A and B are shown apart, each in its own frame.
Chain A
């Protein structure tokens, strides 16, 4: 009798292994608390559809290097989550299933076009499905601005005036904390400034255009701002800590700052004293203006690989992650930082039912999400995606140029010339 039971169980197990469907999902959310949530969603998905999901965390910077290895080993994933840059690169190498991504976008019907256009692969076709997004802008001390009667920091002149007016280094307060190191943060802040002046490092034909008058002007403005910044080659962590500890009137930051400003435990993990008034006293300028209007942001997308053997299962999984409470559960991993790309979810009261989002209020959150429509980027121009930009970003050409401009007191012209030469070298 025992033997029969064991045999039946064995047969069930083996047939189960043979007939059950498994898909592999690479996610760039590598932090352990986020992975827990993703794994919970995977288990839920399995219980509903009987499709097993293997969740594999991959550092975003390693994504492209892991692809050839996985290809050689025959372990390519079915679904990948990642930022715009790796998606565009994978898409340009024909790795992504454009038909499925396009199908999902049209079936949902409510994905912000501002987000999906950044992943377009041609006329109404897409490399990947925009999943969640953040917006960058200037976070500033509204109370200090009001005291001095300053305008919101939106136009170049207003930003510079405010920086000058509020800069008081003798008392440990600086106009702003500007990125000055050779890193991605520096490039992100500079992108918003350059695009507000219509300056781009690369044009539609792939020519490098750092030496244009618009770009030189952008470097000039950046250098001018640098005078009213905290000393040193400051970077993202200096900006965040400086703002929270009331050292800076303005900083460039993404919406990921929202819980740092609003939640006591998060803030206390950065600095010693919690400031409960900071939420109320903080303003957010989600766009910038000089000759043009610019708003910088990043979209994180879900892509299905061309090589997948489980097209239906992969599609189901993507739609599962972007539907109802599953989607909201994912977005609440980083309230403020992860914003929905579907309008029906952005308006869903369950999405706004969160201790961080509540503190900002519905109106503010909707304003932030609406900025998605105006996102401009160096790698997207006149409806065309410029994959070459990822090479310039990867080599930190812009950050290096700015770092050197401050270190060597280069003129804006010298800086632009250096960046032009460095970028050209990358494409030799």
Chain B
């Protein structure tokens, strides 16, 4: 019953979306505000409808309705309730429902805003949002239906359909197959929703961009309306990426956090264009330039978001993420191709009206540096895209499939990331419009001088790798410039208004949250860069088989094997848990418990490292193998990961900075922005 309700609600939501698209276009065409208003209400209605659907699916998951193939494929009796509920996004069909639900949530929030001054955007924002939603609903209803049941035909055959075939009985199972054990981790419970929130929220700025193109409004109104949306989307996308890295580090047991896996890249690509977009919109706001470019960036971001959803959930590329396989690929490609081509043609048709009067004059001006930043982000994007499609291209051209692995990405992106760090240091000091080496030098010499202390210190400390020395200097440079900026601003307030320094600092950041939030994000990026340099350049490893009491040593640590225990748990796992003792320079640091869980029902083991984590380094111990009978000897692999904690710390600072930048301003936006010029009188329906 509840299952039929869930499916029915989806179908109604689909019909309502179709109606909304039609009503919005018709209302705009005939200039009938009542129709547009009706479309707006239709869009509002999708949210409760899809909520009903998602809730019934969660109900089925939580109560073990294994007659649903989806429920059986991602849950089992032994799973705790929170994992059963979050199995909503444990498989493809459920993820698509979840995606649609988030999208309807966001578009509902958008429709509830005050539209008084931007009434002409409304129908087109509705059309774009609902077209996207309709596409996902089509996938869920017709292709990947999580509500489809299994039926046993009189012939004994088992069929998966929504409606009962003649004479068939529901195919009942006592238990499901359960979620992939690798996904049974708190990090995995929140990582996908964060990414999805990021993906979905980018639909909003895209919808406004298209609305601006259709209505031919060449000003930056759409950017100002969606600025906070973009930041929120970006925040969630960043969070999703960082959490995914943390999950890999904790669960996958290869001592790393990022493997340049195609699916990771798929989530990373919209982040790259989104980040470029966040920077380049500032040029449009300040100087009225880059209008075409911003449109290109948001269209690209939207396409990459859809592409990312497709890659993460279709199993099209072999990767640790392809836990699902299906045939929705062609539909996705068709949708991406159509939306991309339509958006681009729209942009081209508006090309002339978007021409700006502004000209870049100085190679070192702030806007020029922002442009280099954009070029580098695009460069990294091209590297990523090239890496993903290269096997296909090489096969087409030479008939030989050639792939590129992580070394390709590392080698091709590292100099560009270094360039971005350099720009991050220089740009805050450069003036808008006109800036020369002389003016820039005058502003930069103090922080530059201080930052040079860092490479001197690390070289004296014995560091010899040029890449690491350069990296640490760049990090120091950005930190010095950023703190210097805070200092200058606070001192100016201190002198002018006589505020005490802490108060001045607080008010400074509060007055210009976007700028200083941005600086905090930069500091977070630098901390992450330090962690990445640490693990990429200085990671070391050792491995060996130990009898009880024997030790392995790595970088001053002594790891001694003490005991091993193998036992079964009540929820169907076999656990082998080793106890090792850690010493450093004669000091006892306590025990670690690396273990290996074997999930009987999924027939899959899972390696859980024992980690001792400090700001200086991580000691990451894996239990690889053990003697089954005597439990006397065990094999361990140990990684020494210097500075990796800075990566996570940087992630937190990064997120805080984004929150500062996105926090609503007290002073109303309405006061500052210009009065809009509606093309037709907005009659209240």
Co-assembled chains A and B = no
Give chain A's interface residues, CB within 8 Å of chain B: none
